[in-house]
Amino acid sequence: MDLELSGKTAIVTGASKGIGRAVAEALAEEGCTLHLVSRTEADLNAVRDDLNTRFGAQATVHALDLSNEADVAKLTAAAGDCDILVNNAGSIPAGDITRLDNSSIKSAWDLKVFGFLGLIRDIYPRMCERGSGTIVNVIGMAGERPRAAYIAGSMGNAALMQMTRALGAESYDHGVRVVGINPGPVETERLVRQAKINADMQFGDESRWRETHKDLPGGRPGRPEEIGWLAAYLASDRASWVSGTIVMADGGQHSRSVRA
* Over residues 213-242, mean pLDDT: 94
pLDDT computed for residue 199 by the predictor = 82
Query: What mean pLDDT is reported for the chain?
Result: 93
| Cβ-contact 91, 190 below 8 angstroms | yes
Crossing angle between the packed helical segments 102-112 and 114-130, to the nearest 10 degrees: 30
User: What are the backbone angles phi and psi of residue 222, rounded to the nearest 5°?
Assistant: -70, 165
Q: How far apart are CA 178 and CA 169, in angstroms?
A: 8
Using the predicted structure, report yes or no on whether residue 259 has a pLDDT greater than 70: no
Domain definitions of the chain by residue range? 9-186+222-248
Percent of the chain residues topping a pLDDT of 70: 98
pLDDT band at 195 (very low <50, low <70, confident <90, very high): confident
Contact (CB, 8 A) for 248 and 254 = yes
The gap from C-alpha 209 to its chain's centroid, in whole angstroms, comes to 24
CATH architecture of 9-186+222-248: 3-Layer(aba) Sandwich (3.40)
103-130 average pLDDT score: 96
Reported as a single tens digit per residue, the pLDDT across 134-171 is: 999 999 998 999 989 889 999 999 999 999 999 999 99
- Specify burial of residue 116 (Cβ count, 10 A radius: 0-12, 13-18, 19+): buried
Query: Within a 10 A sphere around the Cβ of 73, how many other Cβ atoms?
Result: 14
Neighbour count for residue 84 (Cβ, 10 Å): 26
> Is the pLDDT score of 246 beyond 80?
yes
Neighbouring residues of 133: CB distance < 8 A, sequence distance ≥ 6:
82, 83, 84, 85, 123, 124, 126, 127, 175, 176, 177
Q: In this model, does residue 79 exceed pLDDT 90? A: yes
pLDDT at residue 258 in the model: 61
Q: What is the pLDDT of residue 260?
A: 37
- In contact, 90 and 111? CB cutoff 8 Å: yes
What is the predicted pLDDT for the residue at 189?
82
Phi, psi for residue 215 in degrees, rounded to 5:
-85, -5
On the question of pLDDT at 190 being above 60, the answer is: yes
Give the Cβ contact number of residue 141 at 10 Å: 23
Intra-chain end-to-end CA distance of the chain, in Å: 42
